[in-house]
Structure 1
Amino acid sequence: MTGRNSGLIGRTAVAFVLAASLSAVADSAHAGTAGAKVCRLDEGVLTVDDLPAGSSVIECGAVGRVVAYDGTGVTVPEPGTAVSVDALATDGSTHGFTLEVAADGVVSYGLADAAADSSTAGSDVSDVLSSPARTADDLSQEPDGADADAADNGAGTEVASVEAASSPSACGDGAYKTDDRKEYGTYNWYIGDGGMPGALSRTDAKWAFYDAIDNITDSYNDCGYGDSVGAKANFLSETSYEADINSSSQCTARDGLSTWDAGDLKSGVVATTCSWTWPMPGVKNDLREADVRFNTHDYDFTNKPTSSCSNKYDIRSVGTHEAGHVFGLGHVGSGHENLTMYTNSFLCSTKARTLGKGDVLALRSIY
C-alpha cells in the first residue's frame, strides 16, 4: 500500500468515527428529552395542561409565564424553586396550588393540600436576589374608607353559621393539614406601601400584623397547650416594595422581601398568601419569601369589631390565618369551622385569632 493510499484510508476512518460519535451524541440528546412531556405555550395565561407535570421550563421557555389553576395563578419561577398560592375565599371554598421547578427544569404540581409530613430537618440558607423584580403594574394602593377603630354603623353582629355551631369545638377538633413548606430560620417581614386594611396607619397595621404572626409563632391558644413551637419571626421595616401578588390573586415574580400589604385582589377572595421555597427532597421545602395581601378593594376590615359590626373582617383573624400559610399550614374544610385554618374567615368574628387543637398540632408536626 502506498503512503498516499494509506493517508486516504486513515482520513476516511477518522471521518467515519467522528460521524458515528456525532450520531451517538444526537441520539443521546434525543433520548434525554424524549421522556419530557410536550408543552403548548400560546399567548396569555397558561393552564396546568399547557405546561404539564414532567415538562421542562428550560426547553419550553416557560420561566416568567403565568400558570392558572382553580381561580388562582403563579408565575413560573427559575429552576430550583417552588411557588405556592393560597387564597382565602368568602364562600369557604379552597383555592390554591403549588408549582415546583426542579434544578433540571422539570415541572411538578401540588394541586391539593398535602397531608402532614413528619420529616422536618433542614437548614436555613441566606437568600440574596441579584436582580429583584418590581411589579408596579400589578399594584393597587387604594385605602379603606372607614376608620378601623370607629363604631360600625351596621345592622348587628353576624349570626354564627349553623355549620360552626354543629362542628367540634376549637379545642376538641384535632384535624389539620400541612403544606410542603417550613421556615428553618427566622421569617423576616416588611410593611408595604399604600393603604392598609381598616384604614390603619402603617404603624398600627404593623402591630396588627405583628400580633397575627405571633399568634402562630407562639401557638396562642385557649386549649391549655404550651408553646413548644420553634417558629420565629421578626419585623424589619417599612418598604416601598409591594407584595408580589396582582389583582387576579396571582403570584408575580418575587422580589426577595416578605411583604404584607393591602390592595386589589380577585373578587370573592379576602386575602392571598404567596410563598416561594427551595425544594429539599425528603424534608419540608425551605421558605425563601412569603407575601400577604388583604383585599381592601372589595371588602372592609376592622381592627376592633364592635357589637354593631356588620360586613367587616377582623384584621388579626385574617392575618393569623394567612400567617398560618406562611409557616406551612394548609386549609381544613367543612366540619372544621372553629379552627383558625378553616377555609373561610367569618365576618365580625375574632375567634380565628386563637388557635384550636388542630392548628397547634399542625405547627408541632412541622416545628
Structure 2
Amino acid sequence: MTIADLPTGSDALDCEVVGRTVTYDGVGVAVPEPGEAVTVSALSVDGSDHGFTLQVAADGTISYELPGSVVDVDVSGADTLDSPRQPAYETSDLTHEGDSHNADAPDAPPEGETEVAEVDAAVAPGACSDGTYKTLDLKEYGTYNWYVGDGGMPGALSRSAASVAFRDAVGNIVGMYNNCGLTDTVTAQASYKGFTDYEADISSSGTCKGRDGLSTWDAGDLPSNNFAISCSWSYVYEGKKNDLREGDVRYNTTDHDFTDSPTSSCYRKVDVRGLGTHEAGHVFGLADLYGDDDNLTMYGISTYCTTKARTLGLGDVRGLRSIY
C-alpha cells in the first residue's frame, strides 16, 4: 500500500498494519512497532529524491516525514537500550553466502595509474564555501555498533578489504574528515564489531524490512535506479530527534560496478568509500542535498570515478555539528 492508503493520523494498531509495507516514490518501509520510526534513503542514478520516514507514536498514530518536511531540531534526548519486540529473523539472514554471491565486476585498476583522489583534493575548496545542510529526525545518542555482512562486496573486495573501506567511510563522518581546516567537534561515536552472517534488512525491491537488531553493511540486489539504500530504525522522541536503534546499508552490486581506487582510466564505477561516507551521513542523521551543492558529501546524486564524497565540506560539517 502507499502513503495515500495509510495517511497521517491513521492508527497502526486499529488498522493492523504493523509489519506491512508502505511505499512512496519507489521505495518502501515495513510499518514498525508503536514508539518506533523507520527512515529509508536511496541514492538514485537519476538524481531524484527517493526517501521518507514513517513514524508510529506510542499510541499507534502514524505520521510521515517526506522530502522538504520540517524535522525536530532538539537534540537533548538520551540513548536507550535496544530490545526489538519482534526481531525479523529470516532464512537468508542465517545462511552464509560465498564471496562471489552478488559481487559486482572485479576491480583491477591498471598498474601505475594515478588515483583521482589527488585531482579531487584540488577541487576541495569549492566544498569549503558551501554551508548548505539538511538533517533527518534522527540522532545516535550513544555508539553506533555495526557489522559487515556476508556475500559479495562492492568492487569485488574481500570481506576484510570491504571492512577497511566501510570503516574509513564511517570514520569520515564521526571524525569529521575535511580539507577545510575545520576542527572535529562532533561527538558521534561508532564501533565496528566484525563479520556477521546476517544481512542488511533491505529487500531487492528497495524496502526497509522488519529489523533484526544488527546494524549491517553489505551488498546485493536493489532496484536498478539505486546505487545504494540505507535504512535507519529509531526510537521516537516527541519534539526531539529520534534515537537511532539500527542502521543498515546495502550497495547495489547487481546493476552497478564499484571501485575502491578510482584511476584516470576508471569508467562508470562508483567509489566505495565516497558512497559509504554519504550513506554513513544518513545513518548519523544527515539528509540528501540537491541543486548547486554537488561538492558536498551529502549531495544526492552520485557521480562515477570521483572520490570527492570521501571528504566533508562546510555544509556536511555544519549539519553534523547541528546534531552533535
With structure 2 as the length reference, what TM-score do the two structures score? 0.91
Q: Equivalents in 1 of 2:216, 2:264: separation in Å?
A: 32
Q: Equivalents in 1 of 2:150, 2:187: separation in Å?
A: 30
**Residues 173-212 of structure 1 correspond to what in structure 2 (within 5 A)?**
173-212=130-169
Partner of 1:261: 218
- Tell me the alpha carbon deviations over residues 158-183 of structure 1, each in whole angstroms, 9 at most, x when there is no partner: xx9xxxx9xx9201100100000000
Distance 1:172 1:251, change over 3 A: same
Contact 1:115 1:177 in 2 (8 A): no
User: Root-mean-square deviation (CA), in Å?
Assistant: 2.2
Contact 1:70 1:95 in 2 (8 A): yes
Partner of 1:150: 109
**Residues 36-185 of structure 1 correspond to what in structure 2 (within 5 A)?**
46-115=1-70, 117-129=72-84, 131-136=86-91, 141-147=101-107, 149-151=108-110, 169-185=126-142
CA displacement at 1:113 relative to structure 2: 4.3
CA displacement at 1:145 relative to structure 2: 2.6
| AA in 1 matched with 2:105 | G
CA displacement at 1:132 relative to structure 2: 2.3
Q: Equivalents in 1 of 2:256, 2:39: separation in Å?
A: 24
CA displacement at 1:248 relative to structure 2: 1.0
Q: Equivalents in 2 of 1:56, 1:118: separation in Å?
A: 25
Partner of 2:285: 328
Distance 1:289 1:205, change over 3 A: same
Partner of 1:273: 230
Partner of 1:24: none
Q: Equivalents in 1 of 2:257, 2:251: separation in Å?
A: 10
Partner of 1:293: 250
Contact 1:113 1:177 in 2 (8 A): no
Structure 2 spans left out of the alignment, 5+ residues: none
Q: Tell which has more relative contact order, 1 or 2 (C-alpha 8 A, sep 6+).
A: 2
With structure 1 as the length reference, what TM-score do the two structures score? 0.81
CA displacement at 1:151 relative to structure 2: 2.7
Contact 2:92 2:199 in 1 (8 A): no
| AA in 1 matched with 2:40 | V
Structure 1 spans left out of the alignment, 5+ residues: 1-45
Secondary structure at 1:273 match in 2: strand
Q: Equivalents in 1 of 2:282, 2:234: separation in Å?
A: 13
| AA in 2 matched with 1:143 | A
Q: Equivalents in 1 of 2:18, 2:203: separation in Å?
A: 18
Q: Equivalents in 2 of 1:129, 1:82: separation in Å?
A: 13
Partner of 1:284: 241
Q: Equivalents in 2 of 1:131, 1:175: separation in Å?
A: 39
CA displacement at 1:128 relative to structure 2: 2.5
Identity %: 58
Q: Equivalents in 2 of 1:59, 1:130: separation in Å?
A: 19
Secondary structure at 2:305 match in 1: coil
**Residues 211-250 of structure 1 correspond to what in structure 2 (within 5 A)?**
211-250=168-207
- Tell me the alpha carbon deviations over residues 72-104 of structure 1, each in whole angstroms, 9 at most, x when there is no partner: 000011111100000001121110000000111
Contact 1:117 1:365 in 2 (8 A): no
CA displacement at 1:142 relative to structure 2: 1.4
CA displacement at 1:112 relative to structure 2: 1.4
Contact 1:263 1:297 in 2 (8 A): yes
Contact 1:115 1:178 in 2 (8 A): no
CA displacement at 1:150 relative to structure 2: 3.2
Secondary structure at 1:47 match in 2: coil
Q: Equivalents in 2 of 1:75, 1:118: separation in Å?
A: 25
Q: Equivalents in 1 of 2:68, 2:281: separation in Å?
A: 13
Secondary structure at 1:213 match in 2: helix
Distance 1:115 1:107, change over 3 A: closer
* Structure 1 position 346 matched with structure 2 position 303: yes
| AA in 1 matched with 2:109 | A
CA displacement at 1:118 relative to structure 2: 3.9
- Tell me the alpha carbon deviations over residues 209-242 of structure 1, each in whole angstroms, 9 at most, x when there is no partner: 0000000001100111000000000001211110
CA displacement at 1:122 relative to structure 2: 1.2
More displaced stretch, 198-207 vs 113-122:
113-122
Distance 1:279 1:129, change over 3 A: closer
Contact 1:181 1:284 in 2 (8 A): yes
